[in-house]
């Protein structure tokens, strides 16, 4: 079985972050491991506090995994401080990590800034050049590329700028646009377009984490970039279609819907 590492923050409500990544890894057929960069006090209504993990502990978590276990892929999520970003980048470089998916998490759905302003440049300069695929949504792409995005042409322009920073592929997600939900995958030469239907639900907590983790899992399993993204898109679409309400706010997606369905565990749904 392939082994994939998530480097991200912990979501105490279980819908996003490390918890979503591990669920997504399992659902996509790989063994999940984690390096925790921060602990959040979080639920379906928002993020209320963040405790960053000491960089020495982050460094030791990375070493503990790579010194013992073959890592077939890496997903990077919440890395809120520049010092955290630098130690993660140094660790991945030291161990020659491959199949790296960077989800440039900046702001939670409730508006909490998960990436400190002074850390944006560190992410751009240290992490993006290591990425096999970087997966920004439109607000994140606007921040990284430094341009406004309202059209598909703007998305293409931003993808070109982000690709010039160093990642092999840019998956720019179009879910924030008011029109169709087209994502674009850019390899430096060609654009490929992935369109999925908009799903009428408020329960989308952890979608970005879940998708990027699925892509990392599929890269680790040997899929090429387009195949990994396409499989990840199909997986997250099903997970959103069968998302469910918990708590008083934005509920999670259903990470295991297909598996539960095959096991006959959804008869009472």
Q: Please check whether residue 9 is in contact with residue 39, taking contact to mean a CB–CB distance below 8 angstroms.
A: yes
Q: Is 208 a catalytic residue?
A: yes
Q: Please check whether residue 99 is in contact with residue 3, taking contact to mean a CB–CB distance below 8 angstroms.
A: no
Provide the CB-side half-sphere exposure for 23 (13 A, CA): 25
Cα–Cα distance measured from residue 91 to residue 115, given in angstroms and rounded to the nearest whole number:
20
Strands 181-186 and 191-196: antiparallel
In this structure, what DSSP letter does residue 37 have?
E
Please identify which of the residues 14, 208, 232, 251 carries the catalytic annotation. Answer: 208
Q: Is 29 a catalytic residue?
A: no
Please identify which of the residues 6, 207, 210, 238 carries the catalytic annotation. Answer: 207
Please identify which of the residues 2, 23, 173, 233 carries the catalytic annotation. Answer: 173
Q: Is 173 a catalytic residue?
A: yes
Please identify which of the residues 44, 204, 210, 238 carries the catalytic annotation. Answer: 204
Query: How buried is 47 (Cβ within 10 angstroms: 0-12 exposed, 13-18 middle, 19+ buried)?
Result: buried
Alpha carbon of residue 241 to chain centroid: 19
Mention every residue, 6+ apart, whose C-beta is less than 8 A from residue 31: 1, 2, 3, 4, 25
Q: Is 126 a catalytic residue?
A: no
Please identify which of the residues 15, 32, 73, 206 carries the catalytic annotation. Answer: 206
Cβ atoms within 10 Å of 262's Cβ, excluding its own: 10
Please identify which of the residues 2, 44, 174, 209 carries the catalytic annotation. Answer: 209
Give the length of the chain. Answer: 269
**Active centre residues (catalytic):** 173, 204, 206-209
């Amino acid at each position: 079985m392939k082994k994939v590492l998530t480097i991200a923050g912990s979501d105490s409500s279980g819908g996003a972050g490390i918890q979503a990544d591990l669920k997504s890894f399992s659902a996509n057929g790989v063994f999940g491991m984690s390096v925790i960069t921060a602990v959040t006090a979080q639920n379906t209504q928002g993020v209320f506090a963040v405790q960053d993990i000491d960089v020495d502990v982050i460094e030791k978590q990375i070493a503990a995994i790579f010194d013992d276990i073959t890592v077939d892929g890496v997903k990077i999520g919440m890395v809120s401080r520049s010092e955290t970003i630098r130690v993660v980048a140094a660790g991945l470089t030291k161990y020659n990590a491959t199949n790296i998916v960077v989800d440039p998490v900046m702001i939670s759905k409730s508006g909490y800034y998960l990436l400190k302003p002074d850390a944006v440049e560190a992410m751009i300069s240290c992490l993006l050049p290591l990425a096999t695929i970087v997966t920004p949504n439109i607000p994140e792409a606007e921040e990284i590329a430094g341009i406004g995005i309202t059209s598909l042409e703007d998305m293409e322009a931003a993808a070109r700028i982000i690709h010039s920073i160093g990642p092999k592929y840019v998956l720019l997600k179009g879910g924030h646009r008011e029109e169709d939900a087209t994502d674009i995958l850019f390899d430096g030469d060609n654009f490929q377009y992935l369109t999925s239907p908009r799903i009428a639900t408020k329960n989308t907590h952890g979608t970005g984490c879940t998708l990027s983790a699925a892509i990392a899992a599929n890269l680790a399993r040997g899929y090429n970039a387009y195949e990994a993204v396409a499989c990840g898109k199909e997986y997250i679409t099903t997970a959103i279609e069968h998302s469910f309400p918990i708590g008083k706010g934005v509920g999670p997606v259903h990470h295991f819907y297909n598996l539960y369905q095959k096991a006959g565990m959804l008869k009472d749904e």
